Structures are given as structure tokens and as C-alpha cells.
Amino acid sequence: MKNVSVYYHIFIFYLLLILILPLTGQSRYGGASMQLGLGAQNLALGGATVARFGQHEGFYYNPSAPAGTDRLRLSLMYAPSFGGFGKALANYNYVGVSLPLPQQAVLGVHWTRFSVDDIPVFPSLRGSSYADRLNNAELRPDGTPSGSFTDIEDVFYFNFSRMFAVNLPFGWLFTDLPVEIPVGFTIKGLRQRIYDSSASGLGLDIGTMIKFKLGHLLDRRTIGDMAVGLAVLDISDTKIIWNTRHEDQIGRTVSFGVAFEQNVGFRDAAVHLYWTTWKRIERQHLFGLELKMKNGALRFGKNRDGLTAGAGIELWRLVFDYAFVTLDLENSHRISCSFSIK
């Protein structure tokens, strides 16, 4: 009866997913800071992590990713933009906490802030025309700002995920195939303030995965684990409403991905391969490769703009990660740190 109940819940989840998908179209603009990615681990892998299993910061890519983890975890990220550390024109920061619950459920609360400080404000031009300023030097602007303002975009994420374990019957196997199926959703609220204008929006993401031992399925015990993931972000084209009555939209993103993990037989090392395809306006293909050892990892990837790379090290319950990310306008550095409590 337990397996029947699990199948019922999974069926209802997929039914809702299928019903929601056709409801809205897509939009090109809005919520730019929500497209910057999250977590140095995921960014170093090109963001190709929609099928990355059991990862707290993975809620950003697939809301079901944290399900089944059994540790309270606090995560931080610092990401300077348009300049180096301490000299950046903009800053993108993140803090989040994930709390394990009974029944292999996880509750997460996360916050990101993208800010640009000291944006200059210049006085209005004097004179009635360009000709007036050309002929009268006193009317020409001297390039001195009259003040400054800040652009701030905050996003709050409330994530819930839960793991389901089932046994799938296969006729050619002597035993059933154990399968883990996490499901999850994220409610996110956006608040933006720029000069004397402000805006807010509310969105919803949903996702699921299927993880199984590929070697068990193929009757080759040396073959590793495989996971398949599906996520739909901003399923109803999240609206951002300004106090000026203008509206922006964040178009729905549909992501599908595959992950494969293979032990290589020395020092607890394993190779992880990731592939994700996602579509918002146009389709993109992302790739990631990770060599994971007992207390460290090396990562490489390809995002939509170019190549990525990074590394991580684990010291007791602290994990430090670094990513070099190729972006359309500039190359960027990302640093993450997380602390777990058993």
C-alpha cells in the first residue's frame, strides 16, 4: 500500500505539471538578476545541473534538488560584477539555509541581492535647444553630477522538497529496480528599487528528478548512478509590477537534464558528467564535468556564453568553492562557502 500511495502522489505531481505548462507564453525581458545563476559549484559546471542530486543550492536550477539531504546547511556566495574584488561596479550576493524535516523533506529559505551603488544623477540641461548651449558656454553642462542613487534587486526564495523511494518492477531483472524520486517547488518574491521607482513580483518554480543505479538496470555492477531531471521555472510568466503601472515579465523556462556518476577506483574519486538543455526564448545546451575526490573537486563546464571552470575543498564541515564564469558582457569570479550541521 505504501508504494501505491507514493505512485499516487507522483502521478498527481506530473498531472499538475502537464496542465500548467500550456497556460502561458514567454517573455524576453524582466528579472535580469534572476538569470545570473547561483552557487560556485553549479556555475563552474556551466549551470548544467538540473539533474544534480542532493545539493542545497541546486534549488535554483531544480526545486527538487535538496530533497533527502540530512544536514542543516548555511550557504553564502559573493559575486562581484563589472570589476574585481573590492572594485566592482555591481555586487551579487546570496545567503540561504536549508533545514531537513521528517520523511526526507527539506525546507529552504534563501535570499539574493543584486545592487549597483553610486549611480550618478545629472541636472537637467539648460536652454531650450542644442543651439542655445552651443552659442552660450554658460548653458553647457560641466559633467558634474548633482547626486547619486542605488539600484537594488532582492529575491526571496522559499523552497520545499521531498524524496520518494519506490521499487519499479522489471521483468528481465531478478529483483525490482530501486528508484529515488524527489519532487519540489519554490515560491519566490522579487522586490526592486531604482531611483524613485519600485517594483515587486511573485513567481513559482517546480521540478522533479529520477535517480537509479544504471549498473543495476544493465546488470553491470561496476557502472555508476544516473539521474534525469525536469524543472519548470516561472511557470506562469512571473509579472513584475512597477509603481509607475508598467509591467515586466519573466518568461517561463523549461529545463531537462541528465547526470551520470562513475567511481574510478582510487581515493574515493568519482567522475560526474552533466548535460542540460533549457529553453526560455531560444534553446541552449549546457555541459559540465566534475572530478570529485574525498576532500576536493575540480570542475569544468560550458554555459550559454562560453567556458567555465572551478574548484572546491572541504575542511571538516566547511566547503569552499570557486568558479570562473564566462558571461556575455564580462568574465566573472564567484566564491561560495557553506557550513553544515549534522
Cα-based distances in Å from 252 to 23, 39, 206, 279, 304 = 10, 21, 11, 8, 17
**CB neighbour list of residue 67: distance below 8 Å, 6 or more residues apart:** 54, 104, 105, 106, 161, 162, 163, 182, 183, 184
Closest CA to 308 of 339, 279, 276: 276
End-to-end CA separation in angstroms for the chain: 32
Cα-based distances in Å from 81 to 99, 116, 164 = 30, 9, 39
* pLDDT number for residue 252: 86
Phi/psi of residue 316, nearest 5 degrees: 60, -115
Determine the CATH number of domain 2-123+151-341.
Answer: 2.40.160.40
* pLDDT number for residue 27: 42
* pLDDT number for residue 11: 46
User: Which helix H or strand E contains 286, and what residues bound it?
Assistant: strand 283-292
Pick left, alpha or beta for residue 186 (phi over 0 → left; psi -120 to 50 → alpha; otherwise beta).
beta
Lowest mean pLDDT among 35-39, 110-114, 195-199, 219-223: 219-223
Higher pLDDT, 168 or 5: 168
Give per-residue pLDDT as tens, 32-80.
677 888 989 999 999 999 999 888 899 999 999 999 888 899 999 987 7
SS3 of 116-141: the string is EEEEEECCCCCCCCHHHHHHCHHHCC
Higher pLDDT, 278 or 257: 257
- 187, pLDDT greater than 90: yes
Give per-residue pLDDT as tens, 202-261.
999 999 999 988 877 777 777 888 999 999 999 888 888 888 878 888 888 899 999 999
- 86, pLDDT greater than 70: no
* pLDDT number for residue 176: 77
- 109, pLDDT greater than 70: yes
**pTM for the full predicted model:** 0.82
Closest CA to 259 of 226, 222, 211, 288: 226
Rounded to whole angstroms, the Cα distance separating 306 from 324 reads 11
Higher pLDDT, 140 or 99: 99
